[in-house]
Amino acid sequence: MFLDFLQYCGRLAIFAGVAVYHCLRPPIYFRLIGTQMLEIGYFSLPVVGLTAIFTGMVLALQSHTGFARFSAEGAVATVVVISMTRELGPVLAGLMVAGRIGAAMAAEIGTMRVTEQIDALTTLSTNPFKYLVAPRLIAGLAMLPFLVLVADIIGVFGGFLVGAYQLGYNPATYIHSSWDYLKPMDVVSGLVKAAVFGFLISLLGCFNGYHSRGGAQGVGQATTNAVVSASILILTTNYILTALFFNK
Amino acid sequence: MTRQPKIQLIDIHKSFGHKKVLDGVTVDIGTGESFVIIGGSGSGKSVTLKCILGLMRPERGSILVDGREVVGVPARQREEVMKKFGMLFQGSALFDSLPVWENVAFGLMQGRHMDRRTARRKALEKLAQVGLGKDVAELSPSELSGGMQKRVALARAIAAEPEILFFDEPTTGLDPIMADVINDLIVKCVRELGATAVSITHDMHSARKISDRMAMLYHGKLVWVGPTADVDQADNPYVDQFIHGRADGPIKMEIRH
């Protein structure tokens, strides 16, 4: 069991190393990177946006009821903006994209594996790492920060809506206290996390798909593994990155 | 033999876990000949093909293509060797995200960096060669019947005019008439290209039609190799049982009674 786990980690690390190597060496397929960026970035906007707005809203509501107990309602705006940019933006966007994109990658590459399309790529003098894996890794790495930035803005806006229209804060004061206590590092750390999560989502989607075997059931298993392992890794690395950023 | 064989397999061993799949396969395949490996399911035919193609690595033995070792060569050299190969996969293995013509032109555009317009013209030419018109070029592979997919896959395999063609069960899953159409196309394409062809099949009709020489694989060993014309007088109990399709004989299927 433990040995299996170590073997899995080793294979994943080698896969990641080879994949990164192929990201840097020509030929680079810009068209495919573009397609993947559109798929990961643009088409995930609705899902990520909805997640963000409701998270921001609930955050404002909860912190208001909590802080009201010791008359600290003034901190609601700050709490919303800091939690959103530092933690909830990247983590929730990451988890949603893992479900949407990681699963799709594993299923697509897995099907290509079991129908011998990956072997066919090789026989047509095309390296599957360059053609399939590298564009997805690059697109994941580039697009998640963009999605998280959008999620941050929408989430803070959700908090503002609830704060100003339901809880009766003064809109101008709310915006001021959101803005005044926000440090660039809060946003930047969130975006760096997002880039790491984007890389991990693509990596695990591709890895599980690439190594799937045994027909429809195998592809299903690969899809599940891709989503579960990506989600766990997102939560784990989130802690590690937070500790690195703010533990001074 | 004075002429250099195109492909030489020397004592190839391959196993998966405890299961030995290839147990010392040795054979020479001459330039321009059509060589067919017959054998039942699970006899190691596909693995032999995948070892030559470099999709699998044998544990022992060496494979020479044009006299040069291809087992364990670095990736870059491997890609050079790959340019000599064309392969028709059992399930066609067309890229379902691309239209038919891009499938055919894939090796030209990616492997040989041909521009799209020239590659498209070339793809249409190859499609015509396998009896498909312009109208299918823009369709997606999933809109085609099995026989048409096979023909597109054949067009893709010959598009880059390879020196060596591999056919993995070319007629499996097709009706007898379509199977014969594919056989004819294979013979025609191989002849036009002057290519060396290596096929694996368990369809005896197909094997007789497309081969110059045959070999029979059983339990990871070649039990018989000889010209196609001699297969009926092979005087080999394995071959005899296989070509007549009898359940009893030296070949025991792994069925528990």
CATH number (domain holding residue B172) = 3.40.50.300
pLDDT at A232 over 90: yes
How far, in Å, CA of A202 to CA of A144, rounded? 11
In this prediction, residue A248 carries a pLDDT of 59
Span A137-166, average pLDDT: 92
Portion of chain A with pLDDT greater than 90, in percent: 49
C-beta atoms of A120 and B85 within 8 A: no
ipTM at complex level: 0.83
In this prediction, residue A100 carries a pLDDT of 92
The DSSP line for A17-58 is: HHHHHHHHSSP--HHHHHHHHIIIIITTHHHHHHHHHHHHHH
Query: Which residues in chain A are closer than 8 Å to B95, comparing Cβ atoms?
Result: 112, 117, 120
pLDDT at B252 over 80: no
Portion of chain A with pLDDT greater than 70, in percent: 100
Q: Would you say residue B106 lies in a domain? A: yes
In this prediction, residue B257 carries a pLDDT of 54
Q: What is the mean pLDDT of chain B?
A: 84
Among positive and negative, which fits the CA dihedral A157, A163, A166, A169?
negative
Q: Would you say residue B177 lies in a domain? A: yes
Q: Would you say residue B5 lies in a domain? A: no
Residue in chain A lying closest to B104 (CA): A124
Q: pLDDT (tens digit, 9 = 90+) per residue, B167-217?
A: 888 888 888 888 888 888 888 888 888 888 899 988 888 888 888 888 888
Largest CA distance in chain A: 70
Span A143-168, average pLDDT: 91
Q: How confident is the model at residue B1 (pLDDT cuts 50, 70, 90)?
A: very low
Q: Would you say residue B65 lies in a domain? A: no
How far, in Å, CA of B99 to CA of B53, rounded? 26
In this prediction, residue B255 carries a pLDDT of 57
Query: Which residues in chain A are closer than 8 Å to B89, comparing Cβ atoms?
Result: 116, 119-120
Residue in chain B lying closest to A114 (CA): B93
Query: Does the beta carbon of B122 lie under 8 angstroms from any beta carbon of chain A?
Result: no
In this prediction, residue A206 carries a pLDDT of 94
Convert A92-125 to b/e letters by CB count within 10 Å (16 or more is b). Answer: bbbbbbbbbbbbbbbbbbbbbbbbbbbbbbbbbb
Into how many domains does chain B fold? Answer: 1
Q: How confident is the model at residue B223 (pLDDT cuts 50, 70, 90)?
A: confident
Span A101-109, average pLDDT: 93
Range of the domain at B92: 32-60+74-244
Q: How many CB pairs under 8 A join A and B?
A: 54
Cβ atoms of A35 and A29 within 8 Å: the answer is: no
pLDDT at A200 over 90: yes
Indicate the SS3 state at residue B251: coil
Residue in chain A lying closest to B159 (CA): A124
Indicate the SS3 state at residue B153: helix
In this prediction, residue A236 carries a pLDDT of 94
Portion of chain B with pLDDT greater than 90, in percent: 0
User: Which residues 6+ apart lie within 8 Å of A190 measured at CB?
Assistant: A85, A86, A87, A89, A90, A148, A152
C-beta atoms of A123 and B94 within 8 A: no
User: Which residues 6+ apart lie within 8 Å of A158 measured at CB?
Assistant: A52, A53, A54, A55, A56, A57, A59, A60
pLDDT at A11 over 70: yes
pLDDT at B256 over 70: no
In this prediction, residue A37 carries a pLDDT of 92
Q: Would you say residue B23 lies in a domain? A: no
Closest listed residue to residue B166, CA positions, set B90, B114, B107? B90
pLDDT at B166 over 70: yes
Q: Would you say residue B114 lies in a domain? A: yes
Residue in chain B lying closest to A119 (CA): B55
Name the residue among A116, A120, A124 with its Cβ closest to that of B111: A124
Q: Would you say residue B21 lies in a domain? A: no
pLDDT at A64 over 80: yes
Span A20-37, average pLDDT: 86
Best mean pLDDT range from A222-226, B70-74, B102-106: A222-226
